[in-house]
Amino acid sequence: MLMALVMAVSMPAFSQAEDVVPQSQAQIMLSFAPLVKKASPAVVNIFTKKTVTQSRRTIFDDPFFKRFFGRNFGPQQNRPQIQNSLGSGVIVDGSGIIVTNFHVVGDADEITVALQDRREFDAKLIVEDERTDLAILKIDVEGEPLPFLEFTDSDTLEIGDLVVAIGNPFGVGQTVTSGIVSALDRSAAVSNDIQSFIQTDAAINPGNSGGALLTMDGKLAGINSAIFSKSGGSLGIGFAIPANMVKAVLTNGLATGKVVRPWLGASGQAVTSDVADGLGLDRPGGVLVNRVHKSGTAYEAGLRVGDVIISIDDKDIFGLEALVFRVSSGVLGNQAVLEIIRNGTLVEMVIELKPAPEDPPRNIMTLSGRQPLSGAIVGNLSPAHALELGMSAFAEGVVVTGINNGSVAARYGLRPRDILLTINNQQIVDVTQAQSELLAANDSWEISIRRKGRTLSFKVTL
C-alpha cells in the first residue's frame, strides 16, 4: 500500500515531464524547415557600390625624388576605383520597406536589393541612423505586396531561447544558422553608442550584417549587426540590435524622415558593490545620477544628482547603456515611469519622452577674414546638436563642425568637434561673439580649444 501511495504521488510529476521530453525519433528530429520556409522570402541580399579615388604610384614617388624635390614633386595621378560590398536586409513592410545596418549602406553610391526569387531592385536610402547602426531602404515593387516579417517584443526574450539567423555570409547566398540567446543587454566593441545587444551563438559571419534573428514563431527578434572575432569568422559570439529598438527607429524615421529619439537629460555611473556600500544600498544595480541637464525631461520631472535609477517601466537598469537604451527605444510623446532610490527611500516619478532640445539654435556659419580660424565652419552647441555630432549632450559653447580644404584654419590644425573656449582671454559663448573677437584682434591671437577632453592653447601673430 505504501508503494502504491508513493507511485500515485510521483505519477503527476513524471507525466508532466513526459509532455516536455521527446519520446520518439520523430520528435527528436524536429526541423526548422517550416519556420525558414515561411521567413526566408522576407530576408534579402544587399549589394552596394562606392566610387573612391586611389592614388597611383609613379616613378616620382621614389624617396630619392621626394627627398630632394619635396612631396608634391611630379604629376599626381589619381584614378577612380569601384568598391563593392555586400550585406543582408529584412523586409518589414509589404510595400518594400527594408531594414538593414547603416554600415552596410551608409556611404554607398548605388544600392541593389536581391530578393529570394532572384529579382533585383535599385534601392533608395530613406532613413539613416548611425548611432544605432540602422538604415531604412525603399524599393519600388509597383504595388506588388512582398512577404515581410513581423516584430516580436524583444523584452520577452530569455537567455536560452532558441533563435535562427538568416543572412548572406561571405556572399555565398542566403544561409540559415541556429543557436540560442546567449545573453541580453550586452555591450559590443562597435561604433553603435546605444548598446543593449542580444548576444547569440548562432553563426554570424561577414555578410550577415543586416540579416534577421528570428524567434521560433518566425518573428523578428533583432537585426544581426556585429560579431566578436579574431579571425573574421564566427566564434559563436554574435550581436543583434533588439527588435524594440529597430521598431522605434522605423516608426520615428518613416514619420519624420529622420530619427529623433527621446532624451532623458541625465547621466551617471553604474552602481557597483563599492558604490552600493557607500550609498547604504543592500545590493549593486542601477545608475547613480551625477549630472542632470536643466533642459531635459528628467530635470522637469524632479530627478536630481545623487538619485539612483533602478528601473524604467518595470525594466531593471544595471548600467548606463541599459538606461540610454530604455529611454531611446521609447516613443516620443509617451510617458515612462522611473523608479529611483533617494536617501534610502523608493520613489516613483513620471517623465515625458521628449527629444533633446535645439537650444540655443546652432546658427552654423563659416568664420572669415584675416584671422587664424578663417575657413572653419562653426555652430552653437545644444543637446540636440551635440548628440548629432557624437558628443556629450552636456557640451556647451561653439564647436567646429567642418574645415574648408586649404583654409587658414586647416593649416593651423583645427579639427571637427574642437570646442572654442577663449580668444584673447575672452570666453566664447556663441558663434557671433567668436567671429567678432577674431576680427577685433590686432594681428595677435591667443586661442584655447578643448579637444577630446584636453585643453590646447596656441598663439598666432600675423
- Using the predicted structure, report yes or no on whether residue 245 has a pLDDT greater than 80: yes
Question: 365-461: what CATH class?
Answer: mainly beta
Query: What average pLDDT does the segment 378-390 reach?
Result: 93
Query: What average pLDDT does the segment 50-76 reach?
Result: 56
Q: Look at residue 238 in the predicted model and tell me its pLDDT.
A: 86
CA 133 to centroid of chain Cα atoms: 4
Q: Which residue has the cell 501511495?
A: 5
- Using the predicted structure, report yes or no on whether residue 61 has a pLDDT greater than 70: no
Collapse the DSSP code of 134 into the 3-class scheme (helix H, G, I; strand E, B; otherwise coil) and give the result. strand
Q: Look at residue 22 in the predicted model and tell me its pLDDT.
A: 53
Q: Look at residue 57 in the predicted model and tell me its pLDDT.
A: 52
CATH code, residues 39-139: 2.40.10.10
Q: Give the helix, strand, coil percentages of the chain, each rounded to 5.
A: 25, 35, 40
**80 or 327, higher pLDDT:** 327
Mean pLDDT of the chain: 84
Q: Count Cβ atoms within 10 A of the Cβ of residue 64 and give its class: 0-12 exposed, 13-18 middle, 19 or more buried.
A: exposed
Question: 154-256: what CATH class?
Answer: mainly beta
- For the stretch 121-146, pLDDT in tens is 999 999 998 888 899 999 998 888 99
User: Using CA atoms, how far apart are residues 359 and 452, in angstroms rounded to an integer?
Assistant: 23
- Using the predicted structure, report yes or no on whether residue 18 has a pLDDT greater than 50: no
Percent of the chain at pLDDT > 70 equals 82
Q: Look at residue 354 in the predicted model and tell me its pLDDT.
A: 92
H/E element, 67 = helix 63-69
- Using the predicted structure, report yes or no on whether residue 13 has a pLDDT greater than 60: no
Q: Look at residue 460 in the predicted model and tell me its pLDDT.
A: 87
- Using the predicted structure, report yes or no on whether residue 12 has a pLDDT greater than 80: no
List the Cα angle 363/364/370 in 5-degree steps: 115
- Using the predicted structure, report yes or no on whether residue 265 has a pLDDT greater than 50: yes
**455 or 11, higher pLDDT:** 455
Active-site positions?
103, 133, 209
Going 90 to 93 to 98 to 99, the CA torsion angle's sign is: negative
Q: Look at residue 443 in the predicted model and tell me its pLDDT.
A: 84
Query: What average pLDDT does the segment 304-329 reach?
Result: 90
Where in the sequence of the chain do the CATH 2.40.10.10 domains occur?
A: 39-139, 154-256
CB 313 within 8 A of CB 331: no
Confidence of residue 193 (pLDDT cuts 50, 70, 90): low
Q: What are phi and psi of 324, to 5 degrees?
A: -60, -45
Assigned superfamily of 266-352 = PDZ domain (2.30.42.10)
Q: Look at residue 396 in the predicted model and tell me its pLDDT.
A: 93
- Using the predicted structure, report yes or no on whether residue 399 has a pLDDT greater than 60: yes
Collapse the DSSP code of 267 into the 3-class scheme (helix H, G, I; strand E, B; otherwise coil) and give the result. strand
Percent of the chain at pLDDT > 90 equals 52
Where in the sequence of the chain do the CATH 2.30.42.10 domains occur?
A: 266-352, 365-461
